[in-house]
Amino acid sequence: MKKTAYSFPEEVLEHVFSFIVSDKDRSSISLVCKSWYEIERWCRRKVFVGNCYAVSPPILIKRFPELRSVTLKGKPHFADFNLVPEGWGGFACPWIRAMAGAYPWLEEIRLKRMVVSDESLEIIAKSFKNFKVLVLSSCEGFTTEGLAAIAANCRNLRELDLRESEVEDLSGRWLSDFPDSYTSLESLNISCLGNEVNLLALERLVSRCPNLKTLRLNRAVPLDRLPNLLRGAPQLAELGTGAYTSEMRPDVFSNLAEAFAGCKQLKALSGFWDVLPSYLPAVYPVCSQLTSLNLSYATVQSPDLIKLVSLCEKLQKLWVLDYIEDDGLEILAASCKDLRELRVFPSDPFGLEPNVALTEQGLVSVSEGCPKLQSVLYFCRQMSNAALNTIARNRPNMTRFRLCIIEPRSPDYLTLQPLDDGFGAIVEHCKDLRRLSLSGLLTDRVFEYIGTYGKKLEMLSVAFAGDSDLGLHHVLSGCDNLRKLEIRDCPFGDKALLANAAKLETMRSLWMSSCSVSFGACKVLGQKMPRLNVEVMDESGPPDSRPESSPVEKLYVYRTVAGPRLDMPGFVWTMDDDSALRIS
């Protein structure tokens, strides 16, 4: 008996689809047939837009009329490191305005690297009656006034997370705008705020919200207020302290230790600005239950770090400064067998001489001792092919590997050779590697390895590497799953780019700055590929005021169904069919 798709009523299909949550799967479902496309789009509740310019608000709204959750990303990743000039774009307002009209039942908005105005926040506050989650990650453009609007109006707010956003902190008063009747807060992250919030209001808010699980304070919250806050929320799972220093008084310490001991569900700790080492033992009571520890702002020495970390046997994620040194990492490797993610940040990134005893050895130790290690971000000053080889063989389960050797173009310090073979070993052995950041002295050969072995690679970051276009060509032609490629200061030019133009439509975006791509090539690319936006950034004036062969400062290419964007600032030009007309 022949069974067909339409032997099921729509409602049944809808119900079945409701169990499919991943975007990829949803996308696959929608491609089965027209009726499935229709059913799917009406019951899609959550959408992730990795590049806000790849699509437009009207297109989104037309296809998905009943969304409850939207995630948008704006600026390219290199904006984090000041490579994208101010005013480039990523404006949230047009999206928020459009969604305010189309989705009265919207519950969640998550934005990353976007420019959000107070006006946008006010629109959110007034338009969505059931608004629950606001996450602004690395955003900017708003002030505490906008936050006040959210606090005052969003009766059902569960999550307010401002992680690493640049907020103009006008006053700490906004926190008091949460009405006394408001009790639904589950997660609050204000760690990026500069000024003091109204501490009394904070304490009252924390103690009246029984479901509060995540509380990340800002530096301005003094340590002696922490015990009260903790006592008001013993159910906390994640805590970010404020400044972790105070006049050394025995009562402050015992108060703090007692308060920590009362938090039986605490799994994650962060904050720790301005740490006074003698206060660290106050957290010892919770160490054995911690799975996540962010000490990357704690400027304490290795012995104190070691004491703390060696007690955290369940630790899965550790972010720490290089004060931990090789010795500390060795202890970590011995104590924390469940470690999945390690990030080691530099305490003195611009100093000429190493200030701590942290070398490639630390990372090797951890790769040896921690069988579940799969995500690494490591800043150091020396590396060898041998070490990388060892790490690769130890950890074939590595999925994210970002190594930053501080001095650009540093060779293998033992052999003075390029680090091609070392990184080659990483891509060869770590077959599930999805993200890779390179550094050190590298020739075209490393890109040949990457193109050959990096079949699952989705994101690659390259700086000061390679010899010629061949390098870029290897990557574009070999990495089947490449989505994001960001390159700076490499001698890559026109040939590889134009030869692999079609590849760019299969990727989210390509960033190239301070490379050798000519203006003429950008024009050709723009004209050849109508479904790509080829944007040239040049702060010294219109690119056509210079010869066609002169290299462009910055190039950002991304696929889009929305055509060239209309909100570009004066230093960005789109190359397309009309590019000749547009530049004038």
Partner 1 sequence: METTEKTPQKTTTTTSSGGLNLKATELRLGLPGSESPERDEDGGGGVKGGAIRGFCFSSDGIDGKWNLSEMGIGKDVGLFSPPTPREREQASVIKQKKPQISSAREQVVGWPPIRSFRKNSMATTQKNDDVDASQAKSSSNCLYVKVSMDGAPFLRKVDLKNFATYKDLSSALHSMFACFTISQCGTHGVSNRDELSESKLMDLLHGSEYVLTYEDKDGDWMLVGDVPWEMFTNSCKRLRIMKSSEAIGLAPRAMEKCKSLN
Residue span binding partner 1 (CB under 8 A) among the ranges 26-34, 67-75, 306-314, 563-571: 563-571
Residues 396-425 that bind partner 1 (CB under 8 A): 404, 406-408
HEC states along 272-339? CECCCHHHHHHHHHHHCCCCEEEECCCCCCHHHHHHHHCCCCCCCEEEEEHHHHHHHHHHHHHHCCCC
Cβ 245 to partner 1 shortest distance, Å: 8
d(CA 76, CA 52): 11
Question: Is residue 354 at the binding interface for partner 1, with CB under 8 A as the rule?
Answer: no
Cβ 46 to partner 1 shortest distance, Å: 28
Beta-carbon contacts of residue 190 (< 8 Å; ≥ 6 apart): 160, 162, 197, 216, 217, 218
Cβ 539 to partner 1 shortest distance, Å: 6
Cβ 193 to partner 1 shortest distance, Å: 11
d(CA 417, CA 411): 5
Question: Is residue 166 at the binding interface for partner 1, with CB under 8 A as the rule?
Answer: yes
Which position among 4, 82, 181, 584 is part of the footprint of partner 1 (CB under 8 A)?
82
Determine how β-strand 554-559 pairs with β-strand 509-513.
antiparallel
Q: Is 231 exposed, middle or buried (0-12, 13-18, 19+ CB in 10 A)?
A: middle
Question: Is residue 584 at the binding interface for partner 1, with CB under 8 A as the rule?
Answer: no
d(CA 578, CA 527): 8
Which position among 91, 142, 260, 273 is part of the footprint of partner 1 (CB under 8 A)?
273
Token pair of 34 as six digits: 């027209």
Cβ 270 to partner 1 shortest distance, Å: 12
Q: Please, which residue, 260 or 273, has the CB nearer to partner 1?
A: 273
Question: Is residue 338 at the binding interface for partner 1, with CB under 8 A as the rule?
Answer: no
Which position among 346, 418, 493, 543 is part of the footprint of partner 1 (CB under 8 A)?
346
Where do we find the tokens 């990483």? 426
Question: Is residue 541 at the binding interface for partner 1, with CB under 8 A as the rule?
Answer: yes
Determine how β-strand 484-488 pairs with β-strand 554-559.
unpaired
Which position among 78, 131, 174, 449 is part of the footprint of partner 1 (CB under 8 A)?
78
Question: Is residue 220 at the binding interface for partner 1, with CB under 8 A as the rule?
Answer: no
Cβ 292 to partner 1 shortest distance, Å: 18
Q: Please, which residue, 228 or 301, has the CB nearer to partner 1?
A: 301
Question: Is residue 512 at the binding interface for partner 1, with CB under 8 A as the rule?
Answer: no
R_g (Cα) of the chain, nearest Å: 26
Question: Is residue 349 at the binding interface for partner 1, with CB under 8 A as the rule?
Answer: yes
Question: Is residue 116 at the binding interface for partner 1, with CB under 8 A as the rule?
Answer: no
d(CA 479, CA 507): 11
Residues 361-380 that bind partner 1 (CB under 8 A): 379
Cβ 554 to partner 1 shortest distance, Å: 11
Q: Please, which residue, 230 or 321, has the CB nearer to partner 1?
A: 321
User: Considering CB under 8 A, how many residues would be counted as binding partner 1?
Assistant: 44
d(CA 274, CA 325): 19
Residues 19-48 that bind partner 1 (CB under 8 A): none
Question: Is residue 583 at the binding interface for partner 1, with CB under 8 A as the rule?
Answer: no
Cα 4 to its chain centre, rounded Å, is 43
Secondary structure element (H or E) that encloses residue 526, with its range:
helix 519-528
Where do we find the tokens 């050709």? 524
Question: Is residue 139 at the binding interface for partner 1, with CB under 8 A as the rule?
Answer: no
d(CA 358, CA 352): 15
Q: Are 233 and 225 in contact (CB under 8 A)?
A: no
Cα 274 to its chain centre, rounded Å, is 25
Question: Is residue 240 at the binding interface for partner 1, with CB under 8 A as the rule?
Answer: no
Residues near partner 1 (CB under 8 A): 78, 80-83, 85-87, 138, 164, 166, 192, 219, 273-274, 276, 296-297, 299, 301, 345-352, 355, 379, 404, 406-408, 437, 461, 463, 488, 539-541, 569-571
